[in-house]
């Protein structure tokens, strides 16, 4: 019965996958036509960069992202860049101050030599071209000096008195109690309306704004969602660009034409009237050749998002997304709506009020009390109360009649940092899966709230990810029960000599062959596919299990949702093992206990099954239990890095002794109960 129910579940889930992948759409843009038609008469773009902790999101990394988006191939007077610092750190502000100075030489250099990528850190990792070697060296020297100053301040944990005296804004931090209890700190570092805000060539610079929204202990700060909503309000007062781009602090711009690509969809005269947002896929600069933790999610990014595009549009995944401002602010789509006038809210170059007055006005918009008795977080801006605030926000936008676009250019638009340890990756997937299930179990369930608002195929698409957590039960059954039954001598599959073994064998081998072909098609390797299979098992037996459990505990009132920031900085030895594709354990975690227990359970069962075969002289055991032995052997192969971490490795990345002891006890106990 357990096998039968698991197979029914896998069949249903396969149907959902089939619906999504049935008709993918791959889009291409013609940027030259955009330039020919509109020239420089383009809408204003407001770019939001969000950071939350200067320790795990280093200020120099954040500044590389800021500089990369400031240097877009776009009229600079129509670009405005906003940094939301939810850590409220003077170190981050100091880094921003340094970046605003460096931008005066970096932007002209990028324009002159058509630099790609436009993150200084990433660009200077490539060798210079001969025709601009001298300037390359000069700019790199300036960058290294800036980087040294920022990293020195970060290591010291404070800003020098000389700099604090030079810039009065640092006195704002004198009254900061903690990162969760401080007033709004806002500074317009570069005022794009000011004719004197120019680079070394006399060209205008983009507007650059630093914001640390007000936080008080008595007010829930709602994580990234409320930070984004504060930015929406503040930017509407300063620049009010028609299009909003938001990126995570580690997702630097890798394609200077990404803005123009997105505008091809927003400004298309025939098909743009109902486009709410253009979503670029996430890409990473640090995965190893064979992507040991499956961070690239290649099939999801290349196939599933393209498939969702034909069903109503992809999800909003929280970064690398261009939005129409009015759709983020709650506007409903109507066929009677006129085509948007993209120039109506273009940046005003005339200074109407002083910078100081504008800053004081905007501080009110970022205060804790501003949203009281308003629709912010409910019908306007990003929604509150969900671990995946981006997913539910995009879903609500689509339910208001809008559609979205998935665009994956040949040159990746944004490149960031992927988790470098197994635990980071598992915790990240736990949050995603928990958030998706949270939506499904709420009033916004796709089958209820989305009914008649979005296409049925899109409802099924959302439910595919909502059921990530539920997958844990069928997977856990297949990984544990056949092994235990093998020890007990109970056959769960047809004999190997029976014709009825064919459907099981076909389902197993055909599915593996298809997934391998698909993985290679999206640019992966055979070893990368094997790592992906391993992570598929690991996520379903840990991340999704804990995500489901936490959701149930939250519904029963025993726990609250918590937002976990993925570390962007790794220790040197951890980075070295990651580059060598050695799996990182290192710390004690309940997830590792589950992984190790299941790995040992299958190892013991596999050995027990082979012992039965050896002792049997008539090959009846092999005929009866071959399928279960093969299944156990497959799980054992998947878990080879776990066995190495448990028993053979001596480095700091090995499995902790406490996890080893617990897992041995649990596995032996389970085997003993099963055998007797």
Taking alpha carbons only, the member of 183, 206, 216, 258 closest to residue 83 is 206
59, with CB counted inside 10 A (0-12, 13-18, 19+), is: buried
Average of per-residue pLDDT values in the chain:
91
How many whole angstroms from its chain centre is CA 138?
35
Work out the pLDDT band at 550, boundaries 50, 70, 90: very high
Which has more pLDDT, 347 or 267?
A: 267
Flag whether 529 is in a domain: yes
Percentage above 90 pLDDT, the chain: 75
Q: What is the mean pLDDT of residues 592-602?
A: 97
What is the per-residue pLDDT across 365-404, written as a single tens digit (0 to 9) for each?
A: 999 999 999 999 999 999 999 999 999 999 999 999 999 9
**pLDDT-above-70 percentage for the chain:** 95
Answer whether residue 505 is part of any domain: yes
Write down the pLDDT at residue 374: 93
Query: What average pLDDT does this structure show over 353-361?
Result: 89
Compute φ and ψ for 208, nearest 5 degrees: -135, 125
**Helix (H/G/I), strand (E/B), else coil: 181:** strand
384 is a domain residue: no
pLDDT at 348: 46
- Residue 173 gets the label, from left (phi > 0), alpha (psi -120 to 50) or beta, of alpha
Q: Is residue 64 part of a domain?
A: yes
Which of 46, 53, 85, 86 is labelled catalytic? 86
Is the confidence at residue 340, as pLDDT, over 90? no
Choice among 296-300, 335-339, 419-423, 488-492 with the minimum mean pLDDT = 335-339
Note the pLDDT of residue 572: 82
Beta bridge partners of 380: 376
pTM for this prediction: 0.93
Residue 637's pLDDT is: 96
The band of 347, judged by pLDDT with boundaries at 50, 70 and 90, is very low
Task: Determine if residue 224 is labeled as part of a ligand binding site.
Answer: yes
Q: Is 98 annotated as a binding residue?
A: no
What was the pLDDT predicted at 337?
62
- 603-655 pLDDT, tens per residue? 999 999 999 888 876 678 888 999 999 999 999 999 999 999 999 999 999 99
Residue 390 a catalytic site member = yes
Residue 564 is predicted with a pLDDT of: 60
pLDDT, mean of residues 293-322: 92
Please check the confidence at residue 562 and state whether its pLDDT lies above 80: no
Using DSSP's 3-state secondary structure scheme, residue 207 falls into: strand
Whether residue 261 is annotated as binding a ligand: the answer is: no
Ranges of H-type helices in 489-543 = 501-521, 526-538
Q: What is the average pLDDT across 519-538?
A: 94
| 65-69, 226-230, 300-304, 464-468: the lowest-pLDDT one | 300-304
- Domain end call among 372, 398, 424: 372
- Does 310 reside within a domain? no
- Written in H, E and C, the secondary structure of 387-450 is CCHHHHHHHHHHHCCCEEEECCCCCCCEEECCCCCHHHHHHHHHHHHHHHHHHHCCCCCCCCCC
Domain region containing 181 = 43-251+331-372
Query: How sure is the predictor about 354, in pLDDT bands with cuts at 50, 70 and 90?
Result: confident
- Tell me the mean pLDDT in the region 479-503: 92
Tell me the mean pLDDT in the region 248-273: 94
pLDDT of 344 strictly over 70: no
User: Are 664 and 523 found together in one domain?
Assistant: yes
- Under 8 Å between Cβ of 574 and 421: yes
Residues 355 and 501 in one domain: no
pLDDT tens, residue by residue, 141-172: 999 999 999 999 999 998 988 899 888 889 89
Mean pLDDT of 244-257: 96
Tell me what pLDDT residue 478 has. Answer: 92
Q: How far from chain centre, in Å, is Cα 6?
A: 30
Q: Does residue 377 lie within any of the structural domains? A: no
| 347 and 78 Cβ atoms separated by less than 8 Å | yes
Residue 355 has pLDDT above 50, yes or no: yes
Known catalytic membership, residue 261: no
How far apart are alpha carbons 198 and 433 in whole angstroms? 46
What CA–CA distance (Å, rounded) separates 558 from 636? 36
Q: How far is 509 from 25, CA to CA, in rounded Å?
A: 28
Calpha distance 95→452 (Å, rounded): 49
Which position has the higher pLDDT, 443 or 621? 443
Cβ-Cβ contacts under 8 Å for 496 (sequence gap 6 or more): 622, 623, 626, 627
Instruction: Give per-residue pLDDT as tens, 34-46.
Output: 988 888 889 999 9
Query: Residue 152 falls within a domain, yes or no?
Result: yes
Domain closes at, from 340, 372, 404: 372
Average pLDDT over residues 119-132: 82
> Residue 272 above 90 pLDDT?
no
Q: Confirm or deny that 199 is annotated as ligand binding.
A: no
Comparing 95 with 298, which gets the higher pLDDT?
95
Say whether both 187 and 80 belong to one domain.
yes
What token pair was written down for 561?
């949702």
Domain count, the chain: 2
pLDDT: which is higher, 41 or 316: 316
Task: Note the pLDDT of residue 618.
Answer: 67
In a domain, 395, yes or no: no
pLDDT of residue 422: 95
pLDDT band at residue 75 using 50, 70 and 90 as cut-offs = very high
**What confidence category does residue 94 fall into, taking pLDDT thresholds of 50, 70 and 90?**
very high
Q: What is the pLDDT of residue 617?
A: 67
* 344 vs 655, higher pLDDT: 655
Please identify which of the residues 90, 191, 390, 550 carries the catalytic annotation: 390
């Amino acid at each position: 019965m357990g096998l039968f129910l698991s197979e029914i579940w896998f069949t249903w889930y396969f149907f959902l996958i089939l619906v999504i992948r049935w008709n993918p759409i791959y889009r291409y843009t013609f940027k030259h036509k955009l330039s020919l038609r509109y020239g420089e008469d383009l809408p204003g773009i407001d770019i939001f960069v969000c950071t939350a902790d200067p320790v795990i999101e280093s200020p120099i990394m954040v500044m590389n992202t800021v500089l990369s988006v400031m240097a877009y191939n776009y009229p600079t007077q129509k670009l405005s860049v906003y940094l939301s610092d939810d850590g409220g750190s003077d170190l981050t502000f100091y880094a921003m101050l340094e970046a605003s100075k460096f931008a005066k030489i970096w932007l002209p250099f990028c324009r002159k030599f058509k630099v790609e990528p436009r993150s200084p850190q990433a660009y200077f990792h490539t060798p210079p071209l001969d025709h601009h070697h001298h300037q390359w060296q000069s700019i790199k020297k300036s960058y290294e000096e800036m980087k040294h100053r920022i990293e020195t301040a970060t290591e010291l944990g404070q800003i020098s008195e000389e700099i604090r005296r030079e810039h009065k804004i640092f006195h704002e931090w004198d009254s900061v109690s903690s990162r969760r209890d401080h007033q709004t700190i806002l500074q317009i570092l570069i005022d794009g309306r000011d004719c004197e805000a120019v680079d070394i060539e006399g060209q205008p610079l983009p507007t650059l704004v630093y914001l640390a929204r007000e936080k008080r202990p008595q007010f829930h700060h709602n994580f990234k969602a409320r930070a984004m909503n504060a930015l929406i309000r503040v930017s509407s007062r300063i620049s009010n660009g028609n299009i909003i781009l938001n990126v995570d602090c580690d997702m630097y711009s890798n394609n200077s034409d990404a803005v123009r690509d997105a505008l091809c969809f927003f400004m298309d005269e025939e098909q743009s009237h109902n486009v709410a947002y253009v979503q670029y896929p996430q890409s990473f600069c640090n995965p190893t050749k064979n992507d040991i933790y499956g961070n690239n999610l290649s099939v999801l990014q290349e196939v599933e998002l393209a498939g969702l595009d034909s069903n109503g549009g992809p999800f909003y995944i929280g970064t690398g997304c261009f939005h129409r401002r009015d759709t983020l602010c709650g506007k409903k789509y109507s066929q009677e709506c006129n085509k948007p006038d993209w120039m109506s809210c273009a940046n005003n170059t005339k200074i109407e009020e002083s910078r100081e007055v504008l800053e004081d006005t905007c501080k009110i918009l970022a205060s804790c009390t501003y949203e009281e008795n308003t629709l912010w977080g409910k019908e306007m801006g990003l929604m509150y109360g969900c671990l995946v605030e981006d997913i539910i926000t995009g879903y609500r936008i689509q339910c208001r009649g809008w559609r979205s676009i998935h665009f994956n250019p040949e040159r990746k638009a944004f490149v960031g940092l992927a988790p470098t340890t197994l635990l980071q990756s598992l915790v990240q997937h736990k949050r995603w899966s928990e958030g998706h299930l949270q939506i499904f179990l709420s009033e916004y369930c796709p089958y209820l709230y989305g009914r008649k608002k979005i296409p049925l195929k899109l409802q099924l698409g959302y439910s595919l990810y909502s059921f990530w957590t539920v997958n844990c039960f069928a997977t856990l059954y297949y990984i544990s029960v056949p092994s235990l039954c093998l020890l007990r001598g109970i056959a769960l599959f047809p004999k190997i000599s029976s014709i009825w073994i064919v459907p099981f064998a076909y389902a197993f081998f055909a599915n593996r062959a298809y997934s391998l072909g698909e993985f290679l098609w999206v640019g992966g390797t055979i070893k990368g596919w094997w790592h992906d299979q391993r992570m598929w098992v690991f996520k379903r037996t840990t991340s999704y299990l804990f995500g489901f459990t936490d959701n149930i505990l939250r519904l029963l009132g025993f726990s609250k949702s918590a937002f976990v920031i993925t570390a962007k900085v790794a220790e040197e030895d951890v980075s070295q093992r990651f580059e060598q594709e050695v799996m990182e354990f290192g710390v004690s975690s309940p997830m590792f206990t589950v992984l190790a227990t299941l790995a040992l359970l299958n190892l013991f069962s596999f050995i027990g099954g082979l012992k039965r075969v050896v002792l049997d002289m008539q090959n009846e055991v092999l005929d009866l239990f071959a399928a279960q032995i093969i299944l156990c052997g497959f799980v054992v192969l998947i878990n080879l890095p776990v066995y190495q971490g448990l028993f053979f490795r001596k480095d700091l990345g090995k499995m902790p002794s406490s996890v080893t002891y617990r897992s041995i006890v649990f596995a032996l106990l389970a085997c003993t109960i099963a055998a007797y």
